[in-house]
Amino acid sequence: MGERKWSLKELAARADLPASTLYQIRLGRRGCGPVAIRGLLRAFPSLGYRDLFFDDDSVTTEPYSDGARAEQQEVAA
């Protein structure tokens, strides 16, 4: 998988996660919860959370701007 040429089974072993879990995440059939996040960070110790889970430096983890928050509330209503 990717630059390291690991199989899904190898990644699962390094992350201490079931290969089926990683497969479902890869297909987008399930989200990446805290256990999977910790496992993937364990498998890639030289990378941080942002490196693993964001592919664009413009992505922000800051709270919503007021406009975005208003939009979110409208969608929820």
- For residue 63, is it within any domain? no
Identify the pLDDT of residue 62.
60
Identify the pLDDT of residue 50.
82
Amino acid present at 6: W
Count of structural domains, the chain: 1
- For residue 15, the enclosing domain spans 2-57
Residues 6+ apart with CB under 8 A from 50: 59, 61
Identify the pLDDT of residue 5.
84
Identify the pLDDT of residue 56.
66
14-17-21 Cα angle (round to 5): 130
Alpha carbon distance 8, 15 (integer Å): 10
Q: Which spans in 1-77 are helix H? A: 8-15, 19-27, 34-43, 49-53, 66-76
- For residue 8, is it within any domain? yes
Identify the pLDDT of residue 23.
93
Residue 37 sits in a domain of what CATH number? Answer: 1.10.260
- For residue 37, is it within any domain? yes
Report the chain (77 residues): mean pLDDT per 10 consecutive residues. Answer: 79 95 91 91 89 68 54 51
Identify the pLDDT of residue 32.
87
